[in-house]
Chain A
Amino acid sequence: MRCGPLCRFLWLWPYLSYIEAVPIRKVQDDTKTLIKTIVTRINDISHTQSVSSKQRVTGLDFIPGLLPVLSLSKMDQTLAIYQQILTSLPSRNVIQISNDLENLRDLLHLLASSKSCPLPQARALETLESLGGVLEASLYSTEVVALSRLQGSLQDMLRQLDLSPGC
């Protein structure tokens, strides 16, 4: 328990050092711009455009859905899952999006540290252990649904960021 504040300080240190150099306003702007960029990237992937939003795809529950209220930690966790899924996809289009997600998560960590929020390292989901089997059987569905849901989640995040989300 004595270690608590010190550990917390040490954990925040790399991000605090960034905060010193980068104005938080820029971090916020970059976060929003990056979200828009990823959304546009997904739009540009042709086969995601033709997917009907009316049809629900079952069996892919490990892909996060839309969340009404998002805290910074929840956003980070959600993005971590998406990043994990996209990294597993062999499609070349999604590698860049996966990199963008990593940058986005770093930005969220910066935002969190500016609010003195401890944002724990998102842990890998156990549910994703079965991802390999799902990918093998239904690669297309996984990619399309993951990108589609990611797009929705990002748009939600964009709205939440304007409302100054909590930790």
Chain B
Amino acid sequence: MSCQKFCVALLHWEFIYVITAFNLAYPITPWKFKLSCMPPNTTYDFLLPAGISKNTSNLSGHYEAVVETKLNSSGTYLSNLSSKTTFHCCFWSEEDKNCSVHADNIEGKAFVSTVNSLVFQQIGANWNIQCWMKEDLKLFICYMESLFKSPFKNYDLKVHLLYLLLEVLEESPLLPQKSSFQIVQCNCSVHECCECHVPVPTVKINYTLLMYLKITSGGVIFHSPPMSVQPINVVKPDPPLGLCMKITDTGNLKISWSSPTLVPFQLQYQVKYSENSTKNMRKADEIVSATSLLVDSVLPGSSYEFQVRSKRLDGPGIWSDWSTPLTFTTQDVIYFPPKILTTVGSNVSFHCIYKNENKIVSSKKIVWWMNLAEKIPQSQYDVVGDHVSKVTFPNLNATKPRGKFTYDAVYCCNEHECHHRYAELYVIDVNINISCETDGYLTKMTCRWSPSAIQSLVGSTLQLRYHRSSLYCSDVPSIHPISEPKDCHLQRDGFYECLFQPIFLLSGYTMWIRINHSLGSLDSPPTCVIPDSVVKPLPPSSVKAEITVKIGLLKISWEKPVFPENNLQFQIRYGLSGKEVQWKVFEVYDAKLKSASFPVPDLCAVYAVQVRCKRLDGLGYWSNWSTPAYTVVTDIKVPIRGPEFWRITNEDNTKKERNVTLLWKPLMKNDSLCSVRRYVVKHHTSLNGTWSEDVGNHTKFTFLWTEQAHSVTVLAINSIGASSANFNLTFSWPMSKVNIVQSLSAYPLNSSCVILSWMLSPSDYNLMYFILEWKILHEDNEIKWLRISSSVKKYYVHDHFIPIEKYQFSLYPIFMEGVGKPKIIDNFTQDDEKHQHDAGLYVIVPIIISSSILLLGTLLISHQRMKKLFWEDVPNPKNCSWAQGLNFQKRMDIL
């Protein structure tokens, strides 16, 4: 036992010694290498034939044969070893079969000897080892598997990996000590395969990993020589993922895959594929640096299988495992491209290869159909090769959706036979109008566009992109390669709205809509907008409206908005204020003008006024209308005239004094311009001269007529003054007897209109006008009157006339000298009476007729009832014994 301990201590010392010389550490290769071990007491001399240097690496085949002969019973040899025996081990590989053994010489010094690995294969224990860095750059893995038919396999196999991560592999013989090594136990399976995991921080991936293996099996300990590696040099990527195959637009088969993103270097890829078709079978193996590969001459009805693996492109590395195989079978008819998304007006082409009953159809026999309904003219065909036919669609129109199908189906047919597969053609109208508007403060521009034109393209997303040029727009806007996206928000009206704020007023914003779809992306025609050219100014401010006093014009004044600084034109509109204003619009092109006046028909009405503006050079938009301003009704001028008036007198002709009550109708606004503050009655008599009486707002005034003639005038007064033209009425005793109205007739037209006509006799007096007075006969409460021009001989009186009432009509001739004698009639004229009778007839006759019908009906009912009453006494033959056998319907002689 003490000997064994000594041996172990010696071994450790030896190991440390070896470590100090770790520049001799075996450099781990990216490929597999081997670890071979043999017992310590074996002298190398017997392994080496005389005359061959210990350090010689050139071993001849003769030498190998000798070794084979000498050591053909290694298994027996190993089984005889005692436990805790420490073996001498070395690394070698298929590329370098020299095995460097670290052992003691006779003097007890460590030495390194190079031996042919074949020796170890025969007499020692052997392991295959491969080490690599995982793609995540965090875990270093060493995998080892036993090669020898181990006599120890019945024992527990324990493998430990001792490692040390060094920034620089130093050549100093002082470092490191054994204690500085870290140890990990490897996971071993029953199949004598072990996997050792060494965590390596990603940042230390360029460090040197110094390691050795300690393998314990059946009491025998194998110590590997030190080995070293930079983990970055043995990175093994994960197999490529996301393998995908498709036929390209040019008819090639494109295989693509995704590259792992974790590795810090470029990768190369190895692709192996096989094609299996009825025509031929081919296999290929290609190395590419891109993540895709094109395979030409794809055939219809063939199957393709692909696998890909990856490895570091520049520098050492380990191939990843092969990816899962991907199989792709082409259809009997191949369209390339299988789908096209394009814009209205463009030209597109489809190609096709058609395989029918295991035979590829000649391209000359191929015909094309659209939607299985319309044969495409042969002039649009092209023969690209023996088997490839091409059809071109020039100047395309937008696809009209047919139900849920939003594409045109393009069929490649073999004369009269079409395969059910088809190519899809999506033609989209991308003419999207983008309209922009700059606000009145010149700080933001809002652009709007509607996606309605391209709603048929399901699954597409829209994005407004723009490019800003420093100044102005070019004549023909074009899509700039450098552009920015703009966020737009869908509004309730279906439009998208995009906001630019702040803006460059004079820069050209070239904008277009990009339609992104799985089939590709389309751009709408670009449009260029200069924010300064699309300004919608703020409406003019301080808008005021008034009817000018004494002049009588509608005067409108305003202030231009602060922005823009350009000259502006204005639009003014006004109308009578009300629910529905009938606007009159006027243009003002003088930018400096701040007010305008317009004649209006009604000076006393309230007018609503609004103003808006726009740049004088026509660029931009009209502003909104300003908030309406309203005129205030005030007195513009003196009343045009005084009120029309009439009088009521007590009819006592015997008295010399009479009370006269003047009546007048309040002046309308059009006559009063625009209000009446009070009325004044002006009197004139020969004795008392002229005097006035203020009546206030009353429309009735009574005075005492005492003199022979008494003239009165009623004046209307407003804030400007008294009415200029007024009516006069002279009450004169002599004139009240002048009778010039010979006859007066009244003809009722209906209940609301009566025609009056009269005849006049010649007179020397100055007839001014007539006053027609009417009332219900014998009722003095409601006297109505109106003024009629002197030239009129017939007049339509509109009133509510009650048919059963009698009316009195009085026509007064009004002379300049005084009121004449009236002509009075108490009833309508006789013709009218007849009409009235007729009207009565119209009422009575229907009453008589309806009474007759009622009477007749009553008689009939009475007759029926009587009949029933009398026949109650007639016997029923069924119930009455004496009446049985009698036929009451048969005439009896007795009766």
Interface residues of A (CB under 8 A from B): 18, 21-22, 30, 33-34, 36-37, 40-41, 44, 95-96, 99-100, 102-103, 106-107, 110
Contact = CB atoms under 8 A, between A and B. Distances in A.
Given A37-B565, A41-B442, A100-B504, 18 more contacts: A18-B472, A21-B472, A21-B474, A21-B475, A30-B506, A33-B564, A33-B566, A36-B565, A40-B562, A40-B565, A44-B562, A96-B442, A99-B504, A102-B470, A102-B504, A103-B507, A106-B470, A110-B471
Nearest to B567: A33
B502 A37 contact: no
A96 B503 contact: yes
20 contacts: A21-B472, A21-B474, A30-B532, A37-B564, A40-B563, A40-B565, A96-B443, A96-B502, A96-B503, A99-B502, A99-B504, A100-B504, A100-B505, A103-B471, A103-B504, A103-B505, A103-B506, A103-B507, A106-B470, A106-B506
Contacts of A41: 442
B506 A37 contact: no
Contacts of B504: 99-100, 102-103
A110 B472 CA distance: 11
Contacts of B471: 18, 22, 103, 106-107, 110
Nearest to A20: B475
Nearest to A30: B506
A95 B444 CA distance: 12
A22 B472 contact: yes
B565 A33 contact: yes
Given A96-B502, A102-B504, A37 B563 contact: yes
B534 to A, nearest CB: 15
Interface string B543-584: 000000000000000000011111000000000000000000
Nearest to A110: B471
Contacts of A18: 471-472
B775 to A, nearest CB: 73
Interface of B: 442-443, 470-472, 474-475, 502-507, 532, 562-566
Nearest to B505: A103
Nearest to A94: B502
Contacts of A44: 562
A125 B502 CA distance: 26
Contact of A34 (B470, B475, B506, B562): B506
Nearest to B502: A96
A30 B504 CA distance: 13
Contacts of B443: 96
Question: Helix, strand, loop or mixed for chain A's interface?
Answer: helix
4 closest Cβ contacts across the A-B interface? A36-B565, A96-B502, A103-B506, A106-B471
B781 to A, nearest CB: 71
Contacts of B565: 33, 36-37, 40
Contacts of A107: 471, 506
Of B471, B507, B562, which is in contact with the most chain A CB atoms at under 10 Å from its CB? Answer: B471
Nearest to B444: A96
Contacts of B506: 30, 34, 103, 106-107
B505 A34 contact: yes
A9 to B, nearest CB: 19
A117 to B, nearest CB: 17
A121 to B, nearest CB: 13
A95 B566 CA distance: 22
Contacts of A36: 565
Contacts of B503: 96, 99
Contacts of A99: 502-505
A95 B443 CA distance: 10
Contacts of B474: 21
Contacts of B505: 34, 37, 99-100, 103
Contacts of A110: 471
A34 B532 CA distance: 10
A19 to B, nearest CB: 11
Contacts of A96: 442-443, 502-503
Contacts of B507: 103
Nearest to A21: B475
Contacts of B566: 33
Nearest to B532: A30
B468 to A, nearest CB: 10
B472 to A, nearest CB: 6
A137 B471 CA distance: 36
A60 B659 CA distance: 96
Nearest to A103: B506
Contacts of A21: 472, 474-475
A30 B619 CA distance: 13
Contacts of B470: 102-103, 106
A96 B442 CA distance: 9
Contacts of B532: 30
A37 B564 CA distance: 7
A33 B530 CA distance: 15
A6 to B, nearest CB: 23
A103 B443 CA distance: 14
A84 B443 CA distance: 20
Contacts of B563: 37, 40
A56 to B, nearest CB: 30
A131 to B, nearest CB: 21
A107 B505 CA distance: 12
A30 B615 CA distance: 13
Nearest to B472: A22
A102 B505 CA distance: 10
Contacts of A102: 470, 504
Nearest to A93: B443
B502 A95 contact: yes
A110 to B, nearest CB: 7
A93 to B, nearest CB: 9
B502 to A, nearest CB: 4
Nearest to A98: B502
A50 to B, nearest CB: 18
B477 to A, nearest CB: 12
A58 B440 CA distance: 37
Nearest to B442: A37
A22 B507 CA distance: 13
Nearest to A36: B565
Contacts of A37: 442, 505, 563-565
Nearest to A39: B565
A36 B504 CA distance: 15
B574 to A, nearest CB: 30
Contacts of B564: 33, 37
A103 B504 CA distance: 7
A30 B474 CA distance: 17
A157 B436 CA distance: 31
**Among A36, A95, A106, which residue has the most Cβ atoms of chain B within 10 A?**
A106
A107 B507 CA distance: 10
A118 B444 CA distance: 33
A96 B502 CA distance: 5
Nearest to A26: B472
A68 B443 CA distance: 31
A157 to B, nearest CB: 14
A118 B535 CA distance: 33
B25 to A, nearest CB: 56
Contacts of A34: 505-506
Among A22, A34, A37, the one with the most B-chain Cβ atoms within 10 Å of its Cβ is A37
B562 to A, nearest CB: 6
A160 B566 CA distance: 19
A23 to B, nearest CB: 11
A26 B562 CA distance: 21
A90 B472 CA distance: 28
Nearest to A14: B470
A46 to B, nearest CB: 13
A99 B505 CA distance: 8
A110 B507 CA distance: 13
B563 to A, nearest CB: 7
A101 to B, nearest CB: 10
Contacts of A95: 502
A86 to B, nearest CB: 12
